Structure 1
Amino acid sequence: MSREQQAVARARKAFQTGRSRPLEYRIHQLKKLQQLFVERQKEISDAIKKDLNKSEVGTQLYETLGLEGEISLAIRKLKEWAAPRPVEKNLLTISDTVYIQPEPLGVVLVIGAWNYPWAVTIQPLVGAIAAGNAAVIKPSEVCVHTAKVMEELLSIYIDKELYPVVNGGVAETQELLRQRFDHIFYTGNCVVGKLIMEAAAKHLTPVTLELGGKSPCYIDKNCDISIACRRITWGKYTNCGQTCIAPDYILCEPSVQDRVIDEVKKAIKEFYTDNPKTCADYGRIINQRHFKRIVTMLEDSTVAVGGDNDESDCYIAPTVLRDVKPEAKVIKRMTDETSSGGLLANDCLVHFSVSALPFGGVGNSGMGCYHGKFSFDQLSHLRGCLIKQLKMEGVNSMRYPPHTLKKLGWARFFILKNVNLGWLGRMALLAVFAVVAAVVLQLKSPEYMLLRSDISSLGYSVDKILGVWPDKLQNYLL
């Protein structure tokens, strides 16, 4: 067996022991993961500094603090998330127990990205652990130093059989994708996303694909342009522009274009000094392949701000292009009506930090969502459960073969009428059923049968007389 096969087999065997299911065990693992970020911040920061030139403060702000918050939320809310969820019943199931029970999927594959190597890899892992799954973690090989540290630290702090880390490049990822998983969570680009979905289809494995996309900004001429440009500048050049939800381009009226450029230039100087290359808070492009890809975007465009670059250092200065044509490489046409995975007005990036909002794409930006409870639900099977009572067979008879039904209207009423009653409401309804049952029993008494015989002798149809009020009552209630 290959190393990848062995890791998956061990994870599945560990999951099948059942030890990841108890809430106490899940919480213990989450607390150990939280402990990692408290005790090993220096090693995490040093590795990211080597990969992306992020400062220690920047690493905490954009990588680990959010993870600590996500873990704390999961620990605090796990019992609530994992509890049975009551649902509305119809009258046919009013005395039964009907609920949704979240249960683990099994073994999840998490394939991380290089731009925020801890944040976008560990956040899905938090959801996988909280939901009671095993998970195989595949860090991005592009962040060489971070991937190595992640493998070392996770094996120390959390269950290394349930949550193994598999490092490697394209070949190792392809070998992983040949294995059967119960869910695949991938963060990256659309091209690889299609390959992952193709591999998952062979095993009918569901996927969550976080594929980035385009993030246009529109600046209205009547807004506070200074504030708008300051926030856009922060959102764009954080992590040296290597953020999937960073602003890609600005749309504005030609009359305010010069002012927008001036305000962005002013904000760049405020954030990164006159020489961003020497600023501790300005990062580097991840590698030379991506450096070359980005530099080609400057071709046939007018540079209004920045443009300086150094291939040996993978440095590209904060840059603004002006008078960009719609067919240029940095931009796509925006239709009158748009759809997007998320919407953020008057700011950039910060919707990622709100655990109560689902974070995910639509169309080529991906599918599925996560963060907070959405991570838990995304990596759980929401199992529908109905525990039937062995009583009230008179009501249950409505579902038996159609020829046994005397009145279809009653079946429609009981099946189509949803109810959402509190405790008092349920007691009241059961009391009504008890009265109806007593009446039915009374109608079967010898005295009633004698009365029926007397009525029939007078030439009246008893069934017709007794059939009027149920139909009218049914119409009134529906």
Structure 2
Amino acid sequence: METKEIQAMLQKQRAYFQSGATLLVEKRIESLQRLKNTILANQDKIEEALRKDLGKSNTESYMCEVGLALSELTYMIRHTRKFAREKRVRTPLSQYVSRSFIKPSPYGVVLIMSPWNYPFMLTIDPLADAIAAGNTVILKPSAYSPHTSAIIEKIIRFAFDPEYVTCITGGRKENQALLEQKFDYIFFTGSKNVGHTVMKKASRYLTPVTLELGGKSPCIVDDSAKIDLAAKRIVFGKYLNCGQTCVAPDYILCDEKVKDHLIQALIREIQRQYGLKPLENAHYGKIINEKHFHRLCSLMDEEKCVYGGQTNHQTLQITPTVFDSITWKDAIMQEEIFGPLLPILTYHDINEAIRTIESHPHTLALYIFSQNKTNIEKIKQHCQFGGGCINDTIIHLATTQMGFGGVGDSGMGSYHGKVGFDTFSHKKSIVDKKTWIDLPMRYQPYKSIYDKMIHFFLK
């Protein structure tokens, strides 16, 4: 799409928003329900698109994409009316007699830029929140997942008038053209490098942003952990979607006393969950494209590989792989992996683990496997991270009652459920002052008796 077409679409959406059409709560709920119905009607096509783009099985597509998107929509359909209400708050005595309240209001025209790794869910989830809050939306899905982007565009075209919600496909040219425009809010999910660009472009118009980025999310395993269960849950979280998950455990930081036990447990779990030949497993996906496939291959050190390491260039597949004796100087520790490669590092005591984690950029997620309450508390208190789990991986992402987002280098802002509604809403603080009485102490000429009253009210 050309820049002029994008500008014309933006003008139409702004005019539509200014007409007040999106302010009606009933319209928001009807729109969410129509989107949900359209997704249900196209579920087979969505799953087919995800299989073509990422090799996802129908089970994984529903569990991690379609089902989560439907869950967010259902939650918003049930709660939007309550979230949109004015909330009365206490008025200080000095403002007698008044009614003070907070009114959630949509920002206006919103840009949502979504990634390729969970291309459906990470497009529909923020869209549901933005619609519930009363905004118009321009969606820009990733060019790296073209089949899913195409079905998203079809769904949006069927469910919405373009002045309300529209989907713009394409690549870097379209991204650049969009970021040159003035939006009222930008929601971006993707890499840290592109996040820098989004924030820089948004600053031109002082546009507020939410950035959902990533990082090298650590997974701590201490000497009190239930190793077999830890291995089971780590293997699930690490190799889901072939490791192409922003909150996947990027590396294990393991107490040196249990490292060998953990490695053997991880190998058993990989074999149990994916079979002895994962590349022949119909439920095991693929790397998104050749660029990322070759990048991952360049991170693999054969001498430090203790399990896996097989690749198939034709199918863009890499087996679940484990590396031992890794240090921070290895290539695999210089960037977010975003693939099925699991390096293992060790520590002597929990304080050393904390120092290691805090000496690196803050991550989107952190996981700890432990039965030691003292260790768990230390990690919770002293480590900065977006969110995480105790004795599990990645499941915090799927909880609508909690916000999901990063901190520091891993992003800013959050969404999901009520937090998502708030993200796409400006909260107007309003005082409704009554006219039948007017306290005199704030007006000149000031008098000593009024000073006493002011000191009484304001203390």
Asked if these proteins are the same fold (TM beyond 0.5), I'd say yes
1:351 corresponds to: 396
Structure 2 unaligned regions, length at least 5: 335-355, 360-381
2:358 corresponds to: 335
Q: Contact between 1:11 and 1:164, CA under 8 Å: does it hold in 2?
A: no
Q: Deviations over 1:186-245 (max 9, x none)?
A: 000110000000100011100000001221111111221000111000000000000000
Q: Distance in 1 between matches of 2:331 and 2:403?
A: 30
Q: CA 1:92 to 1:281, structure 2 compared with 1: closer, same or farther past 3 Å?
A: same
2:281 corresponds to: 279
Alignment of 1:47-446 (within 5 A): 47-299=49-301, 302-331=304-333, 333-335=356-358, 337-393=382-438, 396-401=439-444, 403-416=446-459
Q: Distance in 2 between matches of 1:340 and 1:347?
A: 16
Secondary structure in structure 1 of the residue aligned to 2:166:
coil
Secondary structure in structure 2 of the residue aligned to 1:73:
helix
Q: Deviations over 1:263-287 (max 9, x none)?
A: 1111111111111111122110000
What displacement does 1:299 show? 3.2
Q: Contact between 2:12 and 2:163, CA under 8 Å: does it hold in 1?
A: yes
Q: Contact between 1:85 and 1:99, CA under 8 Å: does it hold in 2?
A: yes
Secondary structure in structure 1 of the residue aligned to 2:117:
coil
Q: Distance in 1 between matches of 2:424 and 2:40?
A: 26
Structure 1 unaligned regions, length at least 5: 417-478
Q: Distance in 2 between matches of 1:201 and 1:366?
A: 16
Q: Contact between 1:214 and 1:248, CA under 8 Å: does it hold in 2?
A: yes
Q: Contact between 1:7 and 1:166, CA under 8 Å: does it hold in 2?
A: no
Q: Distance in 2 between matches of 1:173 and 1:22?
A: 31
Structure 1 window deviating more from structure 2 (249-258 vs 403-412): it is 403-412
Structure 1 residue identity aligned to 2:402: L
Highest CA radius of gyration, 1 or 2?
1
Q: Distance in 1 between matches of 2:230 and 2:329?
A: 26
Q: Deviations over 1:53-96 (max 9, x none)?
A: 00111111100111111111111111110101111221022421
2:337 corresponds to: none
Q: Contact between 1:248 and 1:330, CA under 8 Å: does it hold in 2?
A: no
Secondary structure in structure 2 of the residue aligned to 1:100:
strand
Q: CA 1:405 to 1:285, structure 2 compared with 1: closer, same or farther past 3 Å?
A: farther
2:346 corresponds to: none
Q: Contact between 1:361 and 1:367, CA under 8 Å: does it hold in 2?
A: yes
Q: Distance in 2 between matches of 1:356 and 1:60?
A: 20
Q: Contact between 2:302 and 2:309, CA under 8 Å: does it hold in 1?
A: no
What displacement does 1:409 show? 3.4
Structure 1 window deviating more from structure 2 (82-91 vs 2-11): it is 2-11
Q: Contact between 1:301 and 1:322, CA under 8 Å: does it hold in 2?
A: no
Q: CA 1:82 to 1:301, structure 2 compared with 1: closer, same or farther past 3 Å?
A: farther
Secondary structure in structure 1 of the residue aligned to 2:406:
coil
Q: TM-score, normalised by structure 2?
A: 0.88
What displacement does 1:43 show? 0.6
What displacement does 1:22 show? 0.1
Q: Contact between 2:358 and 2:384, CA under 8 Å: does it hold in 1?
A: no
Secondary structure in structure 2 of the residue aligned to 1:298:
coil
Q: TM-score, normalised by structure 1?
A: 0.84
Q: Contact between 1:96 and 1:389, CA under 8 Å: does it hold in 2?
A: yes
Structure 2 residue identity aligned to 1:354: T
Secondary structure in structure 1 of the residue aligned to 2:127:
helix
Q: Distance in 1 between matches of 2:185 and 2:19?
A: 19
Secondary structure in structure 2 of the residue aligned to 1:252:
strand
1:472 corresponds to: none
Structure with bigger helix share is: 1
Q: Contact between 1:136 and 1:165, CA under 8 Å: does it hold in 2?
A: yes
Structure 1 residue identity aligned to 2:58: E
What displacement does 1:150 show? 0.9
Q: Distance in 1 between matches of 2:215 and 2:167?
A: 28
What displacement does 1:384 show? 0.5
Q: Contact between 1:108 and 1:134, CA under 8 Å: does it hold in 2?
A: yes
Q: Distance in 2 between matches of 1:405 and 1:349?
A: 63
Q: Distance in 2 between matches of 1:94 and 1:44?
A: 57
Q: Contact between 1:288 and 1:314, CA under 8 Å: does it hold in 2?
A: yes
Secondary structure in structure 1 of the residue aligned to 2:414:
coil
Q: CA 1:118 to 1:405, structure 2 compared with 1: closer, same or farther past 3 Å?
A: farther
Q: CA 1:413 to 1:331, structure 2 compared with 1: closer, same or farther past 3 Å?
A: farther
Q: Distance in 2 between matches of 1:401 and 1:300?
A: 81
Structure 1 window deviating more from structure 2 (43-52 vs 399-408): it is 399-408
Q: Distance in 2 between matches of 1:278 and 1:259?
A: 28
Q: Distance in 1 between matches of 2:98 and 2:236?
A: 55
